[in-house]
Amino acid sequence: MNKPYFIGIAGGSGSGKTFFLKCFLEHFTASEVCLVSQDDYYIPVAHNMTKEENKLYNFDLPATIDHEHFQQDIRKLLNQETILKHEYTFNNPDVIPKVLEIKPAPILIVEGLFILHFKDISELLDMKVFIDADEDIALQRRLKRDLVERGYSHDDAMYKWVNHVLPAYKDYLLPYKDECDQVITNNGHVADDIMAVTEEISAKLRSKLF
């Protein structure tokens, strides 16, 4: 088996990375592709924090990621080695994380906010995909997730957006947009648009790899 084809998918909060990945993965079997999320490498801090401290803590910084572990696991997968890691529990100290087994595959996907900023990871990528969305649309998606799915107050969600999310996007992701192979604008609410893009990319990969 040759070295996996390594794809990086980056995008800010609310850009639609999760939906893009869901559509993309539907074009492959579980044995053809494996996915590694940067979020699974957050350094655990919740158990030492009060709720107020948790609310103010800035998770949108590269230093919050266990970068060494993240990079080591990616290199193991590129070398055809299986990895074990704990799932991300969204910094909830009441949830016991499951241990995930990730096996190597012909296509390796890594996704996250800082994957282009981490140069030792970025330089290994065979394809860089940037998921983009207008700021107001990304904010509405973020608010819907935080208020409905995670139970944050509107004030808490807006505090993080203004003070953490936007500065991180502008500092650690946007500067790398022009070096990406694919820039996908995801402002619409029509699933067909993203599905068509993932169909096109996956067809090219199939012709190249399988």
SS (H, E, C) the chain: CCCCEEEEEEECCCCCHHHHHHHHHCCCCCCCEEEEEHHHHECCCHHHCCHHHHHHCCCCCHHHECHHHHHHHHHHHHCCCCEEEECCCCCCCCCCCCEEEECCCCEEEEECCCCCCCHHHHCCCCEEEEEECCHHHHHHHHHHHHHHHCCCCHHHHHHHHHHHHHHHHHHHCHHHHHHCCEEEECCCCCHHHHHHHHHHHHHHHHHHHC
For the chain, percent of residues with pLDDT exceeding 90: 68
pLDDT at res. 1: 55
pTM (2 d.p.): 0.90
pLDDT of res. 95:
78
Q: What is the pLDDT of residue 91?
A: 65
Which pLDDT score is estimated for 63?
96
Residue 190 has a pLDDT of 66
- The 10s digit of each residue's pLDDT in 115-146 is 999 999 999 999 999 999 999 999 999 999 88
* Mean pLDDT, 10 residues at a time, the chain of 210 residues: 90 92 93 94 80 83 96 97 85 78 95 96 97 95 87 90 96 97 87 86 89
* Domains, the chain, with CATH or none: 5-205 (3.40.50.300)
